[in-house]
Amino acid sequence: MLIEARKIIMPTWDQNNQASIKAWEDISSEYATCASGTVTGVIGKDLRPGNIWEKGNYYG
């Protein structure tokens, strides 16, 4: 994986820790910014409220 290849250390997800939330929002945004092409998403019916993906990366 790219995160491992670049030796990026991500904090454990903690919805009660603003630093954790910001780190995951930032890396998710950076990943989405650099992505291109056609994407197919397989989304479950039980997404966590406030999840990063729906909050910032899905524009459908």
pLDDT single digits (tens) 11-36: 998 989 999 989 988 888 888 787 78
pLDDT of residue 45: 79
CA dist list (Å): 43 to 12, 28, 40, 46: 22, 16, 10, 9
The whole-angstrom separation of Cα 60 and Cα 5 is 31
pLDDT classification of 3: cutoffs 50, 70, 90: confident
| Total-model pTM | 0.59
pLDDT of residue 19: 94
The tokens for 12 are 């454990």
Closest residue by Cα to residue 24 from 60, 48, 59: 48
pLDDT of residue 18: 94
